[in-house]
Structures are given as C-alpha cells and as structure tokens.
Amino acid sequence: MKSTSTSPTEVASEEEQYYDKISDLKAFDETKAGVKGLVDAGITKVPRIFFSPADEFDKVSDPGKNEFYVPVVDLDGIDKDPILRKNIVDIVRDASETWGFFQVINHGIPDTVLEEMLDGVRRFYEQDTEVKKEWYTRDGSKTVVYNSNFDLYRAESANWRDKTYCNMAPNPPSPDELPKSCSDILVEYSRKVRELGRFLFELLSEALNLNPSHLIDMNCAEGLAILYHYYPACPEPELTLGASKHADYDFLTVLLQDHIGGLQVLYQNQWVDIPPVPGALVVNIGDLLQLISNDKFKSSQHRVLANNVGPRVSVASFFTTGLMPSSKIYGPIKELLSQDNPPKYKETTVREYSLHYNAKGLGGHSQISILLSFRCPA
C-alpha cells in the first residue's frame, strides 16, 4: 500500500521545483523579447515552462479527418434581398447555437486591408528587438500592452506566442500613441471591423428574434480591443500550444488569421480545425453573449496548436469595454425569458466579468468555470 505521508526530502524537492519554475518564468519575462526572442536565439528544445498538460479530448479527436465543418457564411448581396437575409440569419442562428463559431466571406473588408493588417503585425514583431521592448509591459492600463503570456505567472503552462493588446474604442488612442510599424493600418482596420461588428450584432439580434438594433442598443458594440498575435515556428510543436484552450470573455470576437492554420474549436467533445479560408474572418460568440442570450448562443472553447512552419500571425477583435469602469448591468435579456426559460445567470458588469477572467488566466479547469460561476443555482 502506498503511504500518503510525505517525507521532508520530498517536500523540499517539490518546493525546489516550484521556485525553479518562478525563476524560469522571471528570466523569460525579463528578456522582454518574448517567444520570438527564444527562437531568434536558436533554441532547439522547448523549455519546460511551455510544456502543456495532456488534453482529455485529444485522444478522441482526429482533426481534418472527422465529418465536421465550421459553417462559412457568404454575406454577398445580403442588403439587397430580404429572403437571402432571412436565410443568412437562419444559418447564423444555427451556427451560434451549435458551434459558437462561423466564418464570414464577402463581409465588406477588402482583402488589401486584411493583408496589410497581417503585414503590420509581422512588422511590429519583426522590428528591432530593442525598439519593440519599449512596448513590453504587464501594466494593463497602458494604451498598448505587448508581452508574452498575459497570464505568465498564473497559467498552468506558458503558450508559444507573443501578444499585443490595444483598446481602440470607445476611446480611440491618437495614432502617435500606437507603434509606428502598424499604427495606420490598426486605425483603418479597427474602423472597418467596428462597422462589420455592428452589422454582425444586427444579424445576431435578428437570430434571437429581437429588433435588429437590440444588441447595439445594449452597447454590445461599444468597446473594441484589438489583440494581435505572433506564433513563432516551434522546434517541438507537440510539447506545447500556441494558445491553451479557453473561451473568450467578450460579447463577440472577429478573428483574422493568416494561411498557416492551427486554430481548433471543441465541438461535440472533439477538436475540429478551423481552416484558413482566403479573405474570410472567423466569428465567435463570447461568454457575455452566451450569458445575455441565456445559453441560446454558445461561447465555445478553442485553442491554437503550435506549428513548425510559422510564424503564424492573427488579429483578434474583441467586442468588449474590458476593464474600463462600467456601471451597466448585463443579465439574460428579458424578452428571451419565460416561465419555461428562467434566467440561468446572475447579472454582472463587463468590468466585473473581465476581472474574473484576468484573475484566472488561460487553460486548465479554472478558466472554463468562469461562466459557470455566474450561473444561478438550479
């Protein structure tokens, strides 16, 4: 029989491991050069702070070989034909209820703008490291927050990616507060993605059988944070992840990904690829939209695999005011409730919800239960 008591030497070695991890994390953080810095230095082994725990759904998933495809919605002509619009709303409703994800094409943002946005992200990360370091911070109140792993000291394992966060609305920064390497395109892309976001909120309102302006009138489209990512090529991609599994904490996310791939959504307990489609944007429901739709729409877990052909770049547009002071209360939308469909969630503010999310970090089980911790007792 195995003894449950621990000998003093075992305790010491556990503590040693713990302190090792902290000092490894600190050393990595202090380079301010992110994962790209490790790759630039010629690393051939993934350091253990990046080792990802095995995922319970990996063994049943065979991405690319299952019969599931995330819906691709063509918005071409939607404003000219009410019947087409109704058909599109039906597809959006179905996708939002089941996948929590869909892709859109002919969404009105020109390919040239998408390409230039991705180029701008590459220019930012590939500029002189000494210049880039000046943006490196963990102070979330800064206009531009560049770092590697916002949850570095809290997460179970670090991700093989670098990230930059800018709040673009409702209080847009002046262009000279943004990095020169991508400031013009950030401003232009944000403006266009905000317009698209408003349009998507109209379709989503209609999909909930509400007035088209309902979600916009609730200020769901008010805040926009742009998060742009760099996933360097990884020498041992099976040991780590580009992004640990998580659900997004906003109302809605519009994601621009390049041609590399690696994004996956958890669908019917299987990891399913969301393949790059030229000119497309990936749209996904966030936790706050699941909450206000009283579980009609689903905020699905997703992740990004590490790759050995990168860098991969992506730009996530988060519709949320994030940590901005907010007094507006969000709970399940009254019009959707009935005796058979009582509210499933407690009311919250965007700031309160975002604080919970930030405190947990990505991956593991704690992050997944955030929405659950707002559920009403059954």
Using CB under 6 A, which residues numbered 213 to 242 contact ligand OGA?
227, 229
Residue 33 or 263 with smaller CB distance to ligand OGA: 263
Q: What is residue 292's three-state secondary structure? A: helix
Could you give the strand order of the β-sheet that contains 270-273, starting from the edge strand earlier in sequence? Answer: 241-246, 302-305, 263-267, 270-273
Residue 165 or 345 with smaller CB distance to ligand OGA: 165
| Residue 243 contacts ligand OGA per CB under 6 A | yes
> Residue 315 is inside which H or E element, if any?
strand 312-319
| Residue 287 contacts Ni ion per CB under 5 A | no
Stretch that binds ligand OGA, among 205-213, 233-241, 255-263, 341-349 (CB under 6 A): 255-263
Closest CA to 222 of 287, 293, 319, 140: 319
Asked if the peptide bond before residue 311 counts as cis, ω within 30 degrees of 0, the response is yes
Residue 21 or 123 with smaller CB distance to ligand OGA: 123
| Residue 248 contacts Ni ion per CB under 5 A | yes
Cα–Cα distances (Å) from 330 to 203, 208, 226, in that order, read: 20, 16, 22
Q: Which residues are CB-neighbours of 226 under 8 A, at least 6 positions away?
A: 165, 166, 168, 186, 189, 190, 193, 315, 316, 317, 318
Out of 260, 304, 305, 350, name the contact with ligand OGA by CB under 6 A: 304
Stretch that binds Ni ion, among 88-96, 242-250, 337-345, 351-359 (CB under 5 A): 242-250
Closest CA to 154 of 13, 305, 336, 360: 360
| Residue 73 contacts ligand OGA per CB under 6 A | no
Stretch that binds Ni ion, among 132-140, 171-179, 248-256, 290-298 (CB under 5 A): 248-256
| Residue 35 contacts ligand OGA per CB under 6 A | no
Residue 38 or 227 with smaller CB distance to ligand OGA: 227
| Residue 263 contacts ligand OGA per CB under 6 A | yes
Residue 100 or 172 with smaller CB distance to Ni ion: 100
Closest CA to 281 of 134, 110, 123: 110
Stretch that binds Ni ion, among 94-102, 127-135, 196-204, 245-253 (CB under 5 A): 245-253
CB of 108 closer than 8 Å to CB of 195: yes
- Total interface residues for ligand OGA by CB under 6 A: 11
Cα–Cα distances (Å) from 348 to 3, 197, 298, in that order, read: 46, 22, 18
Site residues, ligand OGA (CB under 6 A): 227, 229, 243, 248, 255, 257, 263, 302, 304, 314, 316
